[in-house]
Amino acid sequence: MSDLCVRIRVAREHYALSVDQVLEVAEPGEMAPVPGSPTEIIGVRNLRGQIVPVICLATLLGLPPEAPKRIVVAELGARRAALAVESVLDVEALPDSSESNNSPYVAGAALVDGTLVGMLDLDAILSPVGSRQVGS
């Protein structure tokens, strides 16, 4: 596993994912709604012939949602989803977690140049997706 992380901004807060879990960054594009899906799943998107659910990270984290400007396609095992974010900031090595948190979606947090960066727990984030296709 790489020490590099993809640093993102969600509702003006900073978070990070391991670069090993990120497949690509893309424009939000057209999303189709999925009736009956959890509120954090804002739709599905066709990415080169594969349908992936789009999860609004702001909603999932209990933050005020904004229109996504980017999606980060992440994968863990058999689960894949696009995470709607405000922006992608950087790819960088982050220090070890030194701050505690109360979110089930954040594995830890560290101060980076005076900014608190939460390390996202992709397993917890992808739990509504499961190993099935959303909308199928």
- Domain positions in the chain: 4-125
- In this structure, which CATH number among 3.40.50.280, 3.30.429.10, 2.40.50.180, 3.40.50.720 belongs to the domain 4-125? 2.40.50.180
Q: Which residues contact 20 (CB under 8 A, 6 or more apart)?
A: 1, 2
Question: Which conformational region is residue 43 in: left (phi greater than 0), alpha (psi within -120 to 50 degrees), or beta?
Answer: left
Q: What is the pTM of this model?
A: 0.89
Q: What is the pLDDT of residues 52-93, one digit of tens each?
A: 999 999 999 999 988 899 999 999 998 999 999 999 999 999
Let me know: does 57 contact 87? Beta carbons within 8 Å: no
